[in-house]
């Protein structure tokens, strides 16, 4: 068994695709419209889905708002350098909501970024101590 994908519902598919490709470095792997169901699915990731987990963005054409809820936590993405990743995201007008630095009560360097729909993304360095 393996984890195939995680799905997020988004209100502006083009803005979300731009965020995940331009700021987070993912590739658009595939995209398909479902006119009868009035939705579009877009799959993004860091490599072929046969070997990597993907992020599925679901855009329901008739929905312009979602409540995030209080059970959702975050998506974690490994980066080579958390500080440099935050600088690059801010340079492209991305929202860093927790600057890079050691986690509370630990040494692992992390940061948090917010996507266009308000979903939290944790950036973790490749060298983790906790």
Catalytic residues: 122
Cβ-based neighbours of 72, under 8 Å, separated by 6 or more = 119, 120
Instruction: Determine the Cα–Cα distance for residues 64 and 26; give it in Å rounded to an integer.
Output: 24
Residue listed under structure tokens 């329901």: 60
Instruction: Determine the Cα–Cα distance for residues 44 and 16; give it in Å rounded to an integer.
Output: 10
Instruction: Determine the Cα–Cα distance for residues 55 and 74; give it in Å rounded to an integer.
Output: 12
């Amino acid at each position: 068994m393996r984890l195939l994908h995680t799905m997020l519902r988004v209100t502006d598919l083009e803005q979300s695709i731009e965020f995940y490709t331009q700021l987070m470095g993912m590739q658009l792997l595939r995209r398909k419209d479902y006119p009868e169901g009035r939705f579009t699915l877009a799959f993004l990731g860091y490599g072929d889905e046969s070997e990597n987990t993907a992020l599925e963005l679901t855009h329901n054409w008739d929905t312009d708002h979602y409540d995030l809820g209080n059970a959702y936590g975050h998506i974690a993405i490994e980066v080579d350098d958390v500080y440099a990743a935050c600088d690059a995201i801010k340079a492209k007008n991305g929202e860093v909501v927790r600057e890079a630095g050691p986690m509370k009560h630990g040494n692992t360097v992390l940061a948090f970024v917010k996507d266009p729909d308000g979903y939290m993304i944790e950036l973790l360095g490749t060298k983790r101590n906790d």
